[in-house]
Homo-oligomer: A and B are copies of this chain.
Amino acid sequence: MIRTDNLKQPLRWGQIGGGKGSQIGYIHRDAAQRDRNFKLVAGAFDVNPERGRAFGVEELGLDADRCYDDYKQMIEVESKREDGIQAVTIATPNSTHYAISKMALEHGMHVVCEKPLTFTAAESEELKEIALKHNRVFGVMYGYTGYPTIAQAREMVKRGDIGKVRIVHMQFAHGYHAEEVEKNDPGLAWRVTPEASGPSYVLGDIGTHCLQMGHLISGMEMDSLSCMRKSFVESRQLEDDAHVMIRYKNGAVGTLWCSAVAVGNVHDFKVEVIGEKGTIRWWDEHPNQIEYAPLGEPFRKLDRGMGYLHDAARFERIGGGHPEGLFDSWANLYRNMGHAMIAADNDAQQELASIWFPGIDDGIEGVRFIERCVESADNGSQWVNV
């Protein structure tokens, strides 16, 4: 699933958002540059241009004239330079993803964007069309998908190791916001503010992660759903907890739970796929293992890097036993996206199609899921088609 070879030359790469104090900005830079597949040469890191420029020059060693005031300036100037950036990463609040992505694509840049991708599914669909028209790669950063264990789980389902899928359970539950922690913290406040965050909080922020992972591993397509959402912290305008029941197109069923009020948890992000002949479980907190039970046998823990895994899962960076972490998963994804960008540049469409990475379709599915959940939840949790 993930390639093990690196690009011959790093792609020239810029970043929008992700400046001083941003964790997400740091992990994007780390992952992209980890194996010399991308080289950061430009940025518009901050809504405050001065602060953004200082960050780029002092912390990252960029040339001052490639630290821009805002994304518009950056995309315009860089797109005219001979050595201008070939790809851009967007690590800004949700409300800005659509406009920035659109402009970057139309100026010939490959895009890597944070999720949830846009406020509406229609916007995401439009971005897909633009990307196709311009033959640009559009990566959406579902960053947990780059682990070898995920590749193993996918391969097992694909090969029929667990038979026909019957049940998919997805959850991403933490307890960080069990109280009104956003009260004096603007960095948190935007997440529960519709203007910046869109129509949902936990459904978009974490629910889309487990939804995408469940889809990735199981391959199931949703048919209809029913959603309950609640703001347990009453001052919140957006939900901090949601439960969803799902009917899939082939007769399978599923559930999804996302919560920011699950006291005691740090990342109870889990996916369980139950088939006729076996069950697979994955848990984000210990991503180097998956649990697998074939019919009539007990659960066992499979470990990354071991000889009993399928070949598709053998792209570890360090031997089994030594734990890999989220940075390694992200770097794997950027590597594949880099290869995809080169393929697109060469118009090697067949090769492009063969390179897996979380992309615009994952982005669209996530936004559509949010829309339908909100529709259901706000109408007495009635069932809605997806």
**Complex interface: stretch among A108-116, A123-131, A319-327, A337-345:** A319-327
On whether the beta carbons of B306 and A266 are closer than 8 Å, the reply is yes
On whether the beta carbons of B245 and A323 are closer than 8 Å, the reply is no
CA A267 – CA B264 in complex, angstroms? 24
List chain B residues, Cβ under 8 A from A381.
226, 245, 383
Within 8 A of B (CB), among A229-274: 230, 232, 241, 243, 245, 247, 251, 253, 255, 257, 259, 261-267, 269, 274
Indicate if A317 sits at the interface (CB-CB under 8 A): yes
Within 8 A of B (CB), among A280-313: 284-288, 291-303, 305-308
Indicate if A166 sits at the interface (CB-CB under 8 A): yes
List chain B residues, Cβ under 8 A from A319.
23
On whether the beta carbons of B326 and A318 are closer than 8 Å, the reply is yes
- The interface size of chain A toward B, counting residues with CB under 8 Å, comes to 83
On whether the beta carbons of B263 and A277 are closer than 8 Å, the reply is yes
On whether the beta carbons of A327 and B321 are closer than 8 Å, the reply is no
A243 touches which of B245, B291, B302, B308 (Cβ 8 Å): B245
**Complex interface: stretch among A134-142, A173-181, A195-203, A357-365:** A173-181
- The 8 A CB mask of A127-168 against B (1 = contact, 0 = none) is 000000000000000000000000000000000001000110
A241 touches which of B253, B265, B321, B327 (Cβ 8 Å): B253
Nearest CB in chain B to that of A297: its residue: B308
Indicate if A278 sits at the interface (CB-CB under 8 A): yes
On whether the beta carbons of A307 and B318 are closer than 8 Å, the reply is no
List chain B residues, Cβ under 8 A from A48.
none
A298-B301, A381-B226 known; A318+B253 contact, CB < 8 A:
no
Indicate if A219 sits at the interface (CB-CB under 8 A): no
- The 8 A CB mask of A46-77 against B (1 = contact, 0 = none) is 00000000000001110000000000000000
List chain B residues, Cβ under 8 A from A243.
245, 253, 255
A247 to chain B, nearest CB (A): 7
A345 to chain B, nearest CB (A): 20
CA A166 – CA B260 in complex, angstroms? 12
Within 8 A of B (CB), among A329-386: 380-383
Indicate if A30 sits at the interface (CB-CB under 8 A): yes
CA A57 – CA B115 in complex, angstroms? 38
Nearest CB in chain B to that of A302: its residue: B298
Nearest CB in chain B to that of A251: its residue: B230
List chain B residues, Cβ under 8 A from A277.
263
Indicate if A86 sits at the interface (CB-CB under 8 A): no
Nearest CB in chain B to that of A174: its residue: B321
Indicate if A228 sits at the interface (CB-CB under 8 A): yes
A299-B264, A299-B300, A321-B266 known; A279+B175 contact, CB < 8 A:
yes
Q: Contacts A6-B59, A264-B292, A323-B325 known; list 14 others, CB within 8 Å.
A: A30-B34, A166-B232, A179-B295, A226-B226, A228-B245, A241-B253, A262-B274, A263-B275, A264-B279, A266-B306, A286-B286, A297-B308, A324-B327, A380-B383
